[in-house]
Amino acid sequence: MKINNPRIWLWLAAAIVVLNGFFPALWIFMTSIKGEAELTRIPITYWPENPTLQNYVQAFREQPLARYFLNSLVVAGFSTLLCVGVASLAAYALARLHVPRRNLILSLLVGVSMFPVASLMVPLYQIFVELGLRNTYLALILPHAALSLPVATLTLVSFFAGIPRDLESAAMVDGSTRLGALWHVVVPLAAPGVFTAAILAFVNSWDEFLLASTLLPAKAMRTLPVGIQLYQGEYVFPWPLISAALVVALVPVALVIAVFQERVVGGLTQGGVKG
Amino acid sequence: MSERALAIWLLLPAGLLLGFVALYPVVRLIYTSFFQFQLTLGPEGSFIGLANYAAAFEDPRFWNALKNTVLIVLITVPGALLVGLLLALLANLPFRVKWPVRLGLLLPWALPLVFVGLIFQWFFDSQYGVVNDWIMRLGGERQFWLFKPDLAFIAICFTIIWKTSSFVALILLAGLQTIPKELYEAAQVDGASRWQSFWRITLPLLTPAILVAMIFRTITAFQTFDIPYAMTKGGPGNATETLAMYVRVTSIENLNFGYGSALAVLLFLLSMVITVIYLRYIRGADD
Amino acid sequence: MKKLFWLLVAVLVMSTALAQQTRLRVFVGGQQRPDVMRKIFDLYQSRNPGVRVDVEVGGATSDQQQQYLTTVLASRDPSIDVILIDVIRPAQYAAAKWADTLDKYLPSATRQALLQQYLPAYAKANVIGGNLVALPSFADAQFLYYRKDLLEKYGLKPPVTWDEAIKQAQTILAGERNPNLNGIGFMGNISEGTVCSFLLPIWAAGGDVDEGGKLVLTEAQARASLQFWLDLMDKHKVAPPNMAEKAQDTIRQEMQAGRWIFGTLFAYAWNRFQNDADSQVKGKIGVVPLPRFEGGRSASCLGGWQWTISDFSKNKAQAYKLVRFLSSPEVSKILAIDASNLPVFPSLYRDADVLKANPWFADALPVVQAARARPVHPRYPEVADVMRKALNAVLARIKTPDAAAKEVIDGLRAIYR
């Protein structure tokens, strides 16, 4: 895949990926600057007739969106740290060490994610009520970390397994301990993998509704998905208002992830491969 | 420290976390599945052994939901893998500024499932939807996407593939990034075509990542709930009802926890069988 | 030493004061104007200094609240004392023993007198197997909204029977020649509103689903209902061919844009038609009771929300006092004025303050008085699922009314047994 490719193909490729990914998000953005009456026009409209920021004003006025954003950030941030930390250790063992009954452990690990969460809600709720953790961040950080643990661990296993052993051995000869080798050699090399695991865990937590609405129902503790659905009424689903809230909830986070991935992870990988 | 002891210490945190969150709920779920426990008949349950499971095998709604679920798995898992692979390959091209493409890859995954379902319900609306608007602009006929069984199924599978190919692409893109560029350069020196490089270098080195994506795509496909629930509520009739939807209706709406638990356990067993087959191919120290 | 003594006394006094204060936790949905509810609880607190009422605001739809409350109540969690539930839920709450029966606090004579003050249908909806399990908070019902301006233009009076409504719609559609104008809007997607659509023609013809807990619906009645709605699309051409995907609020938005002559919608639509800035139909909408068939009677689908006491509450006696306050005319009036919620007491529909805030309530009274409860059954969600999926499948034209009617009866028989 050389640089001297005809530029047009590169542009076409970019256009396909961007269009595929952006269209619904763009639709949401367009809806967020429309009035409700425009949604049932015949024929349908793409550009807003009278663009307005009123929906954003109203979204912030009706619900404490900033507070929800902060709650989501705390929950998603800490559950991602916990999940990726725990998953890195487990994945290293599963990829690099002789683990007895490895397949059984892998099956148990992924098996947990094969139950519909809805059918586990009652006992889960009981645990957190018994421990007095309901309506604390911990009540959501722990299940969210557990929820993403299987996918994060397996992603990391596949990455750790792909890193040449010689690099690691060389580091250990240099006097690093095994764990030292893990952090200094393996993790940077697996940076795209670690970061992907982190994205998966973060977004899983950021979007999760069922657990969040049950374990953190208090107004001051609501996460974004729980807060956003409150713009609804019994019969009405005000798309313009909800779109505005979705834009506020999604765009900054997605943008930060994408830029971070290019600047930081790209750099790490380059450094790792050269070193 | 022996290797074995180290392995146990490294696995312990994961075991503790999963054990704390999932052990009791899973045990309770399996236990409840052996009970006649339906709150609309009263607050107490009674032990009935495997009767709930026997009832499931005679329940046409269960078989219908099973059929829909398996079809969704068979269509959307390969679909998302193919589209995801294509997107990852495209996104891995040497763009000078990468973040817009990365953002394009990330956005479908970042959009919450429920809202994806609702947005695509709108896209497929026969009157106000973008899809029919384009079809009719191109001279086609108006289609009733959401209430004709086959069309509704297509619309749902399309939406699931759109949403989940992003997840696949994220995992595969990370895999692509770890393939050293030197390998391609060497292959080019040897006179290999681009196509040959793909089959001989990219695909083999990407296999572990593909497997991981496939395992989780399969598991989540068995759990399909939000998208059909938002788009069709399982309709028309029960034409697009999945097992996970039937589990939820049975437990949460109908308060039939015994039967709902048995259905959940059956769903678990089904995805376990498939996944154990995949897991054999995950590489590790023993191979 | 003296200091220590006084400190001890202070602690003692404070702790007894705290112990005397009862804390009640009330669950209300996010769509129920939590701000107005808070105002009402503050009023109660000011009159009952020993009680503190905390509000827990849940999801914004009946379905989402069911999801949460099922988890909380199936866990036997005592943290919620009083719950605001949808009118379709009391039978389920009673069967699951989630709701405390109110009879133990109410002598039966008082109970009779109390229930007679409310709109008649609530007595049926809230008395389960002879036990009173909930008291009404505010009412809701389906209305026939019509375009006053269009009917006047063609010299028509609001319809009393469905046949008149169909003929009027056809006349106006033929006269207006507006391709975007539609005749009679009704709910046909898979939703609770479609259950009401299924029931309306049955009630309008004088039938019902159950009586005294026994299934009385016949296959012929079910078929007639399904055929009726299908005919509006195919035979009478007063509804477009995609009614199977139309949600209630889509019809409301279309009617607000001036594109329906008639609409069977719940009470919320009125304020949107009248007050929304983008409404094309301000001052052009009237409401009447839903039409009947020749020889039948007018009936509307009852909605509304009920206060019930959790059986797991540790403060039931205090909770009961609160529920009596919440279901009193005083609170009903506050809800009517501040939240535009329909009162549950007929007398309030003639109250000057209420009418000043909501003049149209005068027209609403005959409708809510004729409103009927959907089947009261512990397995109501299954009953509803059978009915709405049948109508939806007929409107989607994947089942004939004959086949769907047979499935409705078979499905209901299995539930009623």
User: Does residue A185 surpass a pLDDT of 80?
Assistant: no
Angstrom distance (rounded) from CA C334 to CA C162: 36
Please check whether residue C394 touches B, CB under 8 A.
no
Rounded to a whole number of angstroms, the distance from the CA of A259 to the nearest CA of chain B is 5
Q: Which chain A residues have a beta carbon less than 8 Å from that of C254?
A: 40
Please check whether residue C271 touches A, CB under 8 A.
no
User: Does A122 sit within 8 Å of C266, measured CB to CB?
Assistant: no
pLDDT of C417: 83
Burial of B273 (0-12, 13-18, 19+ CB in 10 A): exposed
CATH number of the domain bearing residue B81 = 1.10.3720.10
Tell me the per-residue pLDDT of C212-264, one tens digit each, with 9 for 90 and over.
889 999 999 999 999 999 999 999 999 999 999 999 999 999 999 999 999 99
Tell me which residue has tokens 């003296």: C2
Buried b (16+ CB within 10 A) or exposed e, C1-11: eeeeeeeeeee
Which of B132, B252, B257 is the best mutation test for C, with the most CBs of C within 10 A? B252
Please report all neighbours of A, defined by 3+ CB atom pairs within 8 A: B, C
Tell whether omega for the bond before A43 is within 30 degrees of 0, i.e. cis: yes
User: Does residue C19 surpass a pLDDT of 70?
Assistant: no
For C132, the enclosing helix (H) or strand (E) is: strand C131-132
Tell me which residue has tokens 């109660």: C44
Phi, psi of C52 (to 5 degrees): -120, 130
Nearest CB to B147; choose among C97, C245, C378? C245
Nearest CB to A213; choose among C59, C74, C249? C59
Which residues are within 8 A (CB) of C110 and not within 5 positions of it... i.e. 6 or more apart?
none
Rg of chain B, C-alpha, whole Å? 23
Tell me which residue has tokens 């409705």: C408
Of C97, C32, C101, C92, nearest to C61 (Cα)?
A: C32
Pick the CATH number of C12-140+304-368 from 3.40.50.970, 3.40.190.10, 3.30.43.10, 1.20.120.160: 3.40.190.10
Per-residue pLDDT, averaged over A188-215, amounts to 90
Angstrom distance (rounded) from CA B54 to CA B64: 16
**Please, are residues C246 and C255 in contact by the beta-carbon 8 Å criterion?**
no
User: Does B178 sit within 8 Å of A269, measured CB to CB?
Assistant: yes
Tell me the per-residue pLDDT of C26-75, one tens digit each, with 9 for 90 and over.
999 999 999 999 999 999 999 999 999 999 999 999 989 999 999 999 99
Domain that holds residue B103: 49-279
Rounded to a whole number of angstroms, the distance from the CA of A69 to the nearest CA of chain C is 18
Domain spans, chain C:
12-140+304-368, 141-301+375-416
Cα torsion angle, B108, B109, B110, B115, sign = positive
Rounded to a whole number of angstroms, the distance from the CA of C299 to the nearest CA of chain A is 21
Tell me the per-residue pLDDT of B232-262, one tens digit each, with 9 for 90 and over.
999 899 999 999 999 999 999 999 999 999 9
- B19 within domain boundaries: no
Rounded to a whole number of angstroms, the distance from the CA of B125 to the nearest CA of chain C is 8
**Domain A63-231 has what CATH class?**
mainly alpha
Please check whether residue C105 touches A, CB under 8 A.
no
pLDDT of C361: 95
Buried b (16+ CB within 10 A) or exposed e, C245-270: bbbbbbbbbbbbbbbbbbbbbbbbbb
Query: Closest residue of B to C97, CA-based?
Result: B43
Reading the block at residue B264, the tokens are: 């959940």
Tell me the per-residue pLDDT of C359-392, one tens digit each, with 9 for 90 and over.
999 999 999 999 999 999 999 999 999 999 999 9
- Which of helix, strand or coil describes residue C306? strand
Q: Which chain C residues have a beta carbon less than 8 Å from that of B42?
A: 95-97
pLDDT of A193: 84
Cα torsion angle, A133, A134, A140, A145, sign = positive
**Please, are residues C261 and A42 in contact by the beta-carbon 8 Å criterion?**
no
Q: Which chain C residues have a beta carbon less than 8 Å from that of A232?
A: 30-31, 60-61
User: Does A121 sit within 8 Å of C278, measured CB to CB?
Assistant: no
Angstrom distance (rounded) from CA C416 to CA C104: 29
Which of C71, C88, C259, C341 is the best mutation test for A, with the most CBs of A within 10 A? C71
B17: Cα separation from own chain's centroid: 23
- Which of helix, strand or coil describes residue C208? coil
Q: How confident is the model at residue A275 (pLDDT cuts 50, 70, 90)?
A: very low
Nearest CB to A113; choose among B102, B219, B264? B219
A158: Cα separation from own chain's centroid: 19
**Please, are residues C174 and C202 in contact by the beta-carbon 8 Å criterion?**
no
Residue C342 or residue B283, greater confidence: C342
pLDDT of C212: 84
Structurally, chain B folds into a number of domains equal to: 1
pLDDT of B192: 85
What pTM, to 2 d.p., does this model score? 0.93
Q: Which of residues 39-68 of A touch B (CB under 8 A)?
A: 39-44
Tell me the per-residue pLDDT of B215-225, one tens digit each, with 9 for 90 and over.
999 999 999 99
User: Does A40 sit within 8 Å of B26, measured CB to CB?
Assistant: no
- B93 within domain boundaries: yes
Query: Closest residue of C to A237, CA-based?
Result: C249
Residue C1 or residue C143, greater confidence: C143
How do strand C131-132 and strand C82-86 relate by DSSP bridges?
A: unpaired
Please check whether residue A28 touches B, CB under 8 A.
yes
pLDDT of A181: 72
Q: How confident is the model at residue A271 (pLDDT cuts 50, 70, 90)?
A: very low
Please check whether residue A148 touches B, CB under 8 A.
no
Per-residue pLDDT, averaged over B263-284, amounts to 83
Rounded to a whole number of angstroms, the distance from the CA of B50 to the nearest CA of chain A is 18
Tell me the per-residue pLDDT of C263-296, one tens digit each, with 9 for 90 and over.
999 999 999 999 999 999 999 999 999 999 988 8
Angstrom distance (rounded) from CA C407 to CA C401: 10
- Report the mean per-residue pLDDT for chain B: 91
Tell me the per-residue pLDDT of C97-139, one tens digit each, with 9 for 90 and over.
999 999 989 888 889 899 999 998 998 899 998 899 999 999 9
What's the DSSP call for residue C245? Answer: G
Tell me the per-residue pLDDT of C395-408, one tens digit each, with 9 for 90 and over.
999 999 999 999 99
Angstrom distance (rounded) from CA C195 to CA C70: 22
Nearest CB to B284; choose among A95, A150, A261? A95
pLDDT of B287: 44
Tell me which residue has tokens 């689908």: C301
Give the bridge partners for C82, in sequence order.
C26, C309
Which residues are within 8 A (CB) of A86 and not within 5 positions of it... i.e. 6 or more apart?
A145, A149, B13, B14, B17
Rg of chain A, C-alpha, whole Å? 23
Angstrom distance (rounded) from CA C94 to CA C91: 5
Query: Closest residue of C to B45, CA-based?
Result: C96
C141-301+375-416: CATH superfamily: Periplasmic binding protein-like II (3.40.190.10)
Query: Closest residue of A to C193, CA-based?
Result: A235
**Please, are residues B211 and B281 in contact by the beta-carbon 8 Å criterion?**
yes
**Please, are residues C71 and A122 in contact by the beta-carbon 8 Å criterion?**
yes
Angstrom distance (rounded) from CA C33 to CA C53: 16
Tell me the per-residue pLDDT of B151-171, one tens digit each, with 9 for 90 and over.
999 999 999 999 999 999 999
Please count the CA atoms within 13 angstroms of the CA of A149 that sit on its side-chain side: 34
Q: How confident is the model at residue A268 (pLDDT cuts 50, 70, 90)?
A: low
- B265 within domain boundaries: yes
Rounded to a whole number of angstroms, the distance from the CA of C335 to the nearest CA of chain B is 29
User: Does residue A126 surpass a pLDDT of 80?
Assistant: yes
Reading the block at residue C25, the tokens are: 């936790």
Angstrom distance (rounded) from CA B117 to CA A242: 14
Q: How confident is the model at residue B179 (pLDDT cuts 50, 70, 90)?
A: confident
| N-terminal to C-terminal alpha carbon distance within chain B | 23
User: Does A39 sit within 8 Å of C249, measured CB to CB?
Assistant: no
SS3 of chain A:
CCCCCCHHHHHHHHHHHHHHHHHHHHHHHHHHCCCHHHHHCCCCCCCCCCCCCHHHHHHHHHCCHHHHHHHHHHHHHHHHHHHHHHHHHHHHHHHHCCCCCHHHHHHHHHHHHHCCHHHHHHHHHHHHHHCCCCCCCHHHHHHHHHHHHHHHHHHHHHHHHHCCHHHHHHHHHCCCCHHHHHHHHHHHHCHHHHHHHHHHHHHHHHHCCHHHHHHCCCHHHCCHHHHHHHHCCCCCCCHHHHHHHHHHHHHHHHHHHHHHHHHHHHHHHHHHHHC
Angstrom distance (rounded) from CA A148 to CA C385: 34
User: Does C74 sit within 8 Å of B127, measured CB to CB?
Assistant: no
Residue-by-residue DSSP string for chain B? --HHHHHHHHHHHHHHHHIIIIIHHHHHHHHHTTEE-BGGG-S--EE-TTHHHHHHHT-HHHHHHHHHHHHHHHHHHHHHHHHHHHHHHHHTS--SS-HHHHHHHHHHHHS-HHHHHHHHHHHT-TTT-HHHHHHHHTT-----TTTSHHHHHHHHHHHHHHHHHHHHHHHHHHHHHTS-HHHHHHHHHTT--HHHHIIIIIHHHHHHHHHHHHHHHHHHHHT--HHHHHHTTT-STTTT--HHHHHHIIIIIT-BHHHHHHHHHHHHHHHHHHHHHHHTTS--TT-
pLDDT of A122: 93
Cα-based distances in Å from A188 to A15, A160, A257, A264, B163: 31, 11, 18, 11, 29
Tell me the per-residue pLDDT of A43-87, one tens digit each, with 9 for 90 and over.
899 999 889 999 999 999 999 999 999 999 999 999 999 999 999
Instruction: Kindly provide the ipTM of the predicted complex, given to two decimals.
Output: 0.90
**Please, are residues C143 and C288 in contact by the beta-carbon 8 Å criterion?**
yes
**Please, are residues C173 and C150 in contact by the beta-carbon 8 Å criterion?**
no
Phi, psi of C265 (to 5 degrees): -130, 160
Domains C12-140+304-368 and C141-301+375-416 share a fold: yes
Q: Which of residues 2-61 of B touch A (CB under 8 A)?
A: 3-4, 6-7, 10-11, 13-14, 17-18, 20-22, 24-26, 28-29
Q: Which chain C residues have a beta carbon less than 8 Å from that of A35?
A: 278
